[in-house]
Amino acid sequence: SSPFLHGGSTSLYRLPKPNSSQSCQPLKSPAFLPPIRAMKSMQGKVICATDDKTVSVEVVRLAPHPKYKKRVRKKKKF
């Protein structure tokens, strides 16, 4: 039997109040959050720039082939 269950010697109303000087301090960030990483930058080649504000860029990367594990060029347009 806990003293909190039946209103024992320590109740919620008798707990000490926090000091006002401690409440003004900024909270520290928790240690379990991972650091924020920057986005990876990509290099590409401009394919089409005929429009006024639109540009097509082709990015080439090397990726391993799923079966043969040889590095193959993969292209993607942005």
Helix (H, G, I), strand (E, B) or coil at 73: strand
Report pLDDT for 37: 81
Question: 63 and 74 in contact (C-beta within 8 Å)?
Answer: yes
pLDDT in tens, 43-59: 999 999 988 889 999 99
- Structure-model confidence comparison of residues 59 and 9, the more confident one: 59
pLDDT in tens, 11-46: 555 666 666 555 555 556 566 777 778 888 889 999
Q: What is the 3-state secondary structure (H, E, C) of 8-55?
A: CCCCHHHCCCCCHHHHCCCCCCCCCCCCCCCCCCCCCEEEECCCCCCC
Number of Cβ atoms within 10 Å of the Cβ of 57: 15
Length of the chain: 78
